[in-house]
Amino acid sequence: MTQKELKEFLDAKVEQYNSPNFLASDPIQIPHKFSNKEDIEISAFLTATIAWGNRKSIINNADKMMSLLDYAPLDFVQNHTDSDLDNLKNFVHRTFSGSDFSFFVRSLKNIYTNHKGLESVFATNTGKGSLQNSISEFKKVFFEIPHPVRTTKHISDPLKGSAAKRINMFLRWMVRDASTGVDFGIWNKISPAQLSCPLDVHSGNVARKLKLLKRKQNDAKALAELDASLRKLDPMDPVKYDFALFGLGVFEKF
């Protein structure tokens, strides 16, 4: 395909998959249960954190997380007691344990108490065309309070080679326009032009077949290469193509 044909093909796929129908089978349905900004972003962050493996299991366990937070994420984060945290100890999603969950709640309290919330932290240290440095700095803030060493693996660092798929997905949810009823568009300190595609097995394989990506590993270098390709198609909203790449891979076995 020519560049023009590729853009037309992918734009049509974006139109097909960037719709409320997408919510039925996607973890983004969890933060859609909330209306308050902070409840949305906290539930989205926790959901994205466990978004690997079977999607049905992700959705079920993310909903279980919200239940353990009394379906009031901000209130729980700000006002929890030690006994409240004890109630989280039996939670597990793959390698994400109850102790990890408890620390995440404590760290989020620190972020909302001392750093003006998640949006403020991510909006610091942004690059002109990328949020990867910001994600790396976010990890430093997230683990600035005493923490279990094992928990650090649950926040990726792009400057150490990770594609940081789950955090990039979370940022897409928060920043991209809400007009189609999928993403939320509740953060205004970050531009959609700065976002990076959540790169995983599905989007990576489709991107390679469409010659948007040559690198074989799904790592930070591959993400930079894919970013450059998608920005040529739409420099203002490159991550809209996440819907096309993911949909082609998961639903059409492209």
pLDDT in tens, 74-133: 999 999 999 999 999 999 999 999 999 999 999 999 999 999 999 999 999 887 778 999
Model's pTM, two decimal places? 0.96
Phi, psi of 51 (to 5 degrees): -85, 65
Under 8 Å between Cβ of 187 and 175? yes
pLDDT (tens digit per residue) in 120-173: 999 998 877 789 999 999 999 999 999 999 999 999 999 999 999 999 999 999
The pLDDT value recorded for residue 5 is 96
Cβ-based neighbour number of residue 92 at 10 Å: 14
Per the prediction, the chain carries an average pLDDT of 96
